[in-house]
Amino acid sequence: MQNNTKINLLVGLFALLGIVALLFLSLQASNLTSFTTGKTYQVTAYFDNIGGLKVRAPVRSAGVTVGRVKSISYDNKKFEAKLVLDIESQYQFPEDTSAKILTSGLIGEQYIGLQPGAEEENLENGSQILFTQSAVVLENLISQFLFNKAEENNSSKKE
């Protein structure tokens, strides 16, 4: 009888560890593992194309996560994607900071990369990042490459 109790306890412990591992993986995949408890300030940025960027995507500068994407919407007047970024108050950036949509590795997650400028005044709550670079869409690059190759072939045939 005591042997069955030990086995049941070990099976229960193993199942509990499996549930904890699944919870950890789901939090990692949904980018919910790092909550900011400190104060933040919000800045906006407009992009022509955000690719696969998602809400809660990291905002990084020099490889350090300095904030998160708070919201993504479409601006009907500018015909661009409007991003609201939550930047932790401990990180200050000049007003002429630029923002790019980058990808971690070849097929990794997309994030916002901030490149500080040289202005003396810093971004503050409600500021807008004016210098942005949209996401590089692989399909667009491939089609552009194929179009250029087709043009080269047509040019060489005419000569």
Residue 149, classed as helix, strand or coil, is: helix
Q: Which token pair is 46?
A: 């407009």
* pLDDT tens-place string over residues 81-130: 999 999 999 999 999 999 999 988 767 789 999 999 999 999 999 999 99
CA angle 85, 54, 143 (to 5 degrees): 115
Question: Residue 37: is its pLDDT beyond 80?
Answer: no
What average pLDDT does the segment 127-143 reach?
84
Burial grade of 14 (CB within 10 A; 0-12, 13-18, 19 or more) = exposed
**pLDDT at residue 144, as a whole number:** 81
Separation between Cα atoms, residue 80 and residue 47, nearest integer Å:
6
* pLDDT tens-place string over residues 44-75: 999 999 988 999 999 999 999 999 999 999 99
Stronger pLDDT, 38 or 49, i.e. the higher one: 49
**pLDDT at residue 120, as a whole number:** 92
| Element (DSSP H or E) covering residue 136 | none
Separation between Cα atoms, residue 29 and residue 62, nearest integer Å:
23
Stronger pLDDT, 7 or 25, i.e. the higher one: 7
- Spell out the domain ranges in the chain: 1-30, 40-142
Residue 87, classed as helix, strand or coil, is: strand
